[in-house]
Amino acid sequence: MARARKVFFRRRKVCKFCADKIDYIDYKDVKLLQQFIPERSKILPRRISGTCATHQRPLQQAIKRARHLALIPFTTD
Amino acid sequence: MRTYELMFVVDPRVSDEEVVTMAQDYKNMITAGGSQITGEENWGRRKLAYPIDKITEGKYFLLYVSSEVGKTALPEVEHRMRQNEKIFRYLTVRTDEDLKKAARRPPRVGPEADRDREREASDRDRGDRGDRGDRGDRGDRGDHGDRGDRGDRGGRHFEERG
């Protein structure tokens, strides 16, 4: 017997920066960056966060700058 | 015209006044090198995300600089900061290109901006809505009975997008 094709509804991910129209990702904006560093303080991958490539790049840069200045952690121990 | 942001983190054992004089030194160097200081922010004491030299706090200071091409003393300033062991971290970022690409201005961030926003919010008169009163008893929610067997939910699917 053929198995019925499962229909999946997955919430469509949208890039936060496109949706909120943020063009300049500031390394000083800790509150914003914190949304992209989960518990272990790693940078949240695009495949999870839904951020588009155009915005993931400056986001990554901003997170690294903020880390250097000890605004956000490199890791949690 | 190029614009830069210069942020540095100072040992918290250094007094606030001394932080300001240090910043003034750097500002003098920058203006002497032919650039302009377009703004500054003193974030004050802030907890570090990780300890630096076993110290868990730092004093943050931020300078906004604008200068013509080639007329900048920033390398010298960085050199001085590197030699100053009271400065835990510093970072110079060139901002003109990214800001030009961004059509909209970025929101102001930092404790000063937060303070301004708070003041604005508290200035707005929200009016008195009065007491909302007692919401009363919600009553008995009743017994929903046995929900029965849930049946097969299928396996997990590892597709990226549906």
> Which residue out of A34, A69, A72 would a mutagenesis test of the B interface target, given it has the greatest number of B Cβ atoms within 10 Å?
A69
ipTM: 0.78
Would you state the pLDDT for residue B161?
55
Q: How far apart are the CA of A5 and the nearest CA of chain B, in angstroms? A: 11
Amino acid at B134: D
Of chain B, the percentage scoring pLDDT greater than 90 comes to 52
For residue A60, what are its two tokens?
């990554």
Nearest to A68 among B91, B105, B160 (CB): B91
Distance CA B113, CA B107 (A): 9
Would you state the pLDDT for residue B111?
73
Contact state of B109 with A47 under an 8 Å Cβ cutoff: no
We find that the CATH architecture of domain B2-101 is 2-Layer Sandwich (3.30)
Q: Is A75 within the bounds of a domain?
A: no
Domain ranges across chain B: 2-101
pLDDT in tens, B61-108: 999 999 988 888 899 999 999 999 999 999 999 998 888 777 655 666
Using DSSP's 3-state secondary structure scheme, residue B113 falls into helix
Residues of A in contact with B89 (CB under 8 A): 68-70
- Domain of A47, CATH number, reads 4.10.640.10
Nearest to B49 among A27, A28, A70 (CB): A70
Rg for chain B, CA atoms, rounded: 27
Q: What is the DSSP letter of A11?
A: P
Residue B1 has pLDDT above 70, yes or no: yes
Q: Is A25 within the bounds of a domain?
A: yes
Q: Is A64 within the bounds of a domain?
A: yes
pLDDT in tens, A13-59: 788 888 888 888 999 999 999 999 998 999 999 999 999 999 999 99
Distance CA B13, CA B10 (A): 8
For residue B70, what are its two tokens?
């080639």
Distance CA B147, CA B75 (A): 72
- Among chain A, residues having any CB pair with chain B shorter than 8 Å are 6, 8-10, 21-24, 26-31, 47, 58, 65, 67-75
Distance CA A10, CA B158 (A): 12
Report residue B67: phi and psi, to 5°.
Answer: -155, 160
Number of domains comprising chain A: 1
pLDDT in tens, B126-139: 566 667 777 877 87
Q: Residue A23 is part of which domain span?
A: 16-68
Residues of B in contact with A68 (CB under 8 A): 89, 91
The answer to whether the CB of B36 falls within 8 A of the CB of B66 is yes
Burial of B60 (0-12, 13-18, 19+ CB in 10 A): buried
Would you state the pLDDT for residue B127?
60
Helices and strands, number each (H, E), in chain A: 4, 0
pLDDT in tens, B6-53: 999 999 999 999 999 999 999 999 999 999 999 999 999 999 999 999
Distance CA A51, CA B60 (A): 30
Would you state the pLDDT for residue B162?
47
Would you state the pLDDT for residue B137?
78
